[in-house]
Structure 1
Amino acid sequence: MTQTLEEVLLEFEKGTFYQAVNKKNELIGSVRGFVDNDTLYIGKLIIHPDYQGNGIGTALLKEIEKDNSGLRQELFTSDQSLRNLRLYKRLGFVQFKIKPLSKDLNLVFMEKKPGLLKT
């Protein structure tokens, strides 16, 4: 996945970024989001491979959700990202749409309605 500098700057202007750092203050994870109407669009949950499986992604998602409580939440991932799909389902997200990208790859769109924040 690549982005132009202009796309990144636009995300900074209209969105919110949450970061996780280790004890050395090194960036080890992040999640981005922006609100449009009554929906929080969550994107780019990224955790450094050395830190995956330690609850950092869950903590980042819970924090962005908490700060935007009362809003519908939406995100998408690849149907090949089984670990992400399990995480999102565990946190209460439900699939509502599939968008084919190629014969072997689909985007899975998931949502969570207000009031369904899981702990």
Structure 2
Amino acid sequence: MNGVITPLIANYPENSTWTIGYLLIHPNYQRQGLGAQFFHVLEQAISPNKMRCVVQEQNGQALKFWQTLGFKVVGLEQSKLGQLVNKTFVVEKVNRV
């Protein structure tokens, strides 16, 4: 699909889990359903038991996107670099086998 970039990591952080590094949609193609369409094709192709990703705390639009795809917030991670604090939600979707 043009305008879609996503890295995937298999079996991380545990076996049978696919981790989505990020899902980027070119601004010209956003809000057209391409992200959801891409995700559904990906999900069918790899048939994962579980998928996970992290979402920046301040990115409410991305959090809502993942939640509409069936992901649930399972944690909040925080990292510091000097005075900067980065907070991310960990979201997961478990597929029944």
C-alpha deviation, 1:32, in angstroms: 2.1
Shift in Å, 1:101? 2.9
Equivalent in the alignment of 1:55: 33
Q: Does 1:64 pair with 2:39?
A: no
Deviation at 1:104, TM superposition (A): 5.7
Identity in percent: 23
Match of 2:4 in 1: 29
> Aligned pair count?
91
Per the normalisation by structure 1, the TM-score is: 0.68
1:107 counterpart SS class:
strand
The alignment's C-alpha RMSD in Å is 1.9
**Which AA in structure 1 matches 2:10?**
V
Contact 1:93 1:110 in 2 (8 A): yes
Query: TM-score w.r.t. structure 2 length?
Result: 0.82
Q: C-alpha distance in 2, partners of 1:32/1:61?
A: 12
Larger relative CO (CA 8 A, sep 6+): 1 or 2? 2
Unaligned runs of 5+ in 2: none
